Amino acid sequence: MEQNVPGEPGQSHPDDGGATDGAHGAGAHGGHGAHGAGGHGAHAPEATALERFSSGVWSWGKEIITILAIALVLSFLIKTFLFRAFYIPSGSMENTLRIDDRIFVNLLVPEPFALKRGDVVVFKDTLGWLPPEQAKTGPFSWIGDVATFVGLAPDSSQQHLVKRVIGLPGDHVKCCDAAGKMTVNGAALTEPYLFPGASPSDTTFDVTVPAGHIWVMGDHRNNSEDSRAHQRDSGTGFVPISAVEGRAIVIAWPLNHVGILGNYPKVFANVPEPAGVTKGTSSGVVPTGK
């Protein structure tokens, strides 16, 4: 026979009102708590998702800005110290270079790497070979200037020229010999890069290139205002090496004309070195048949 001992916990009977009320109370409070948790928690995931989305967009934006900044800096450094793009506006170097070609120029020539005969070079017009450049107009002309400055667009300033180096300092360049070929230090040149049907020169000349200068000619000899014409007209045919921007090495555009620009070393392989570098001489450039 069981007895309840005062002071000890007794067993609850099914009809124990306290136990039932407690359970009911617990259930009631539990339900309210669940409702409260569910009601307030419904907004928390939305806020968290929005914050995560905003944080992700900002991180992504910072990465894009960083990448663009690095790309611009690298482009500027490459354009300043290694390679630079130029646009070809005329046909004086056809068919080697065509109108509207885009070329890349190696800025490490002539320093630290020396110029060679046959190199295609881009040089600044320090001698006044070209007419003055027209001022750019239009509200957005500065965009092209900025793109050119940072190296994202080819230089189209019209104040550079591109020609092929024929004579180095001290070289004796003459046209033409009995076979109609141009000679450098007495060695006749067979020039495969000339425009089809063009002669080595339609003018006769006999010059010695002075120290610090080069003698340049276009590959389309009948359509090139080069050292010959300017030596004849104004005595400014010798181009200062200091004006050379670099050696053209690649045609990058258009795609159907992409290629490497060679300097044809075999053409000049038999040219002896000059006896000495002088101040430069010229017996004149005389048009033939005019």
Residues marked as catalytic: 92, 163
Count how many Cα atoms sit within 13 Å of the Cα of residue 112 in the half-sphere of its side chain. Answer: 2
d(CA 95, CA 196): 8
Under a CB-based contact definition with an 8 Å cutoff, are residues 211 and 239 in contact?
no
Q: Which residue type does 83 have?
A: F
Secondary-structure percent of the chain, ordered helix, strand, coil, rounded to 5: 30, 20, 45
- DSSP 8-state code for residue 129: -
The full length of the chain comes to: 290
Q: Enumerate residues 6+ apart whose C-beta is below 8 A from 36.
A: none
d(CA 141, CA 275): 51
d(CA 251, CA 15): 99
Under a CB-based contact definition with an 8 Å cutoff, are residues 223 and 249 in contact?
no
Return the SS3 of 37: helix
d(CA 96, CA 102): 12
CA dihedral 94, 99, 103, 105 (to 10 degrees): 70
d(CA 8, CA 2): 13
